[in-house]
Chains A and B, each alone.
Chain A
Amino acid sequence: AQTVTQSQPEMSVQEAETVTLSCTYDTSESNYYLFWYKQPPSRQMILVIRQEAYKQQNATENRFSVNFQKAAKSFSLKISDSQLGDTAMYFCAFKENNAGNMLTFGGGTRLMVKP
């Protein structure tokens, strides 16, 4: 079974600075997908960024980028120019290829952006 670990339960960052959230996973699969989801106080899970394991290039979405290290099974999220609206829980998630839409989530990192 796949496992996803987020080792930082809580983090804080000053507005406009950069922060990196860590995620490691364990799988014997070679083809899979990784995601970062954001859950603000409204509880709505919002997809931040996704990475296909077969792609060597790290995904980027505006201020959000990932550092995907397949051999190390590491998938960190970097948030640049942090904004107050980035305050939320962040979940790393894993999905096998050809496994429907069954996501395995990490325990989450609570991020606080301070003014």
Chain B
Amino acid sequence: KAGVTQTPRYLIKTRGQQVTLSCSPISGHRSVSWYQQTPGQGLQFLFEYFSETQRNKGNFPGRFSGRQFSNSRSEMNVSTLELGDSALYLCASSFGGTTNTEAFFGQGTRLTVV
């Protein structure tokens, strides 16, 4: 079956702009989590959505937001982009149970802010 699909793969934006990233989970998965990966801070959890509701949230400013649609596809939005937002953004999907359900990752969206 198809894996986790993130679009676009690469993105270049200017400071002050906003950006929307998309994540289509594996069919049947109801949980989508987002992570930011940078050389300096490593992999940091942004938020998790389950059945269209935010279930967990990391320690990021309000400029970072997300949502999930009824088909489990998720989008994350970053407003008023800063240079420090340049990163690889990864999403992961899972069935969503609160016990040990494996998370499958997409290939990421590489965002460059100039």
Binding site for B on A (CB under 8 A): 33, 37, 42-47, 50, 52, 91, 95, 97-108
Contact of A42 among B48, B102, B107 (CB under 8 A): B107
Q: Are B107 and A97 in contact (CB under 8 A)?
A: no
Contact A97 B98 (CB under 8 A): yes
Whether A105 contacts B107 by the Cβ 8 Å rule is no
Residue contact B56 to A102, C-beta cutoff 8 Å: yes
B105 and A103 contacting across the interface, CB-CB below 8 Å: no
Q: List 25 A-B contacts (CB under 8 A).
A: A44-B107, A45-B90, A46-B105, A47-B102, A50-B100, A91-B43, A95-B100, A97-B99, A100-B33, A100-B55, A100-B56, A100-B98, A101-B48, A101-B92, A101-B94, A101-B96, A101-B101, A102-B56, A103-B33, A105-B35, A105-B42, A105-B44, A106-B42, A107-B42, A108-B43
Known A45-B90, A100-B55; judge A108-B105 contact (CB<8 A): no
Residues of B within 8 A of A99 (CB): 56, 98
Check A102 against B48 for contact (C-beta < 8 Å).
yes
Residue of B nearest to A52 (CB): B100
Mostly, the A contact residues are: loop
Q: Quick one: closest A residue to B90, CB to CB?
A: A45
Number of interface residues of B (CB under 8 A): 28
Contacts of B92 in A (CB 8 A): 45, 101, 103
Rounded to whole Å, the gap between the CB of B82 and the closest CB of chain A is: 22
A102 touches B98 (CB 8 A): no
Give A44 to B48 CA distance when docked, in angstroms: 19
CB distance from B97 to the nearest CB of A (A): 9
Inter-chain contact A33/B31, CB cutoff 8 Å: no
Residues of chain B within 8 A (CB-CB) of A45 are 90, 92, 105
- Minimum distance in angstroms from A90 CB to a CB of chain B: 12
B33 partner residues in chain A, CB cutoff 8 A: 100-103
Please give me the residue from chain A that is nearest to B29 by CB atom: A101
A67–B42 Cα distance when bound, in Å, is 24
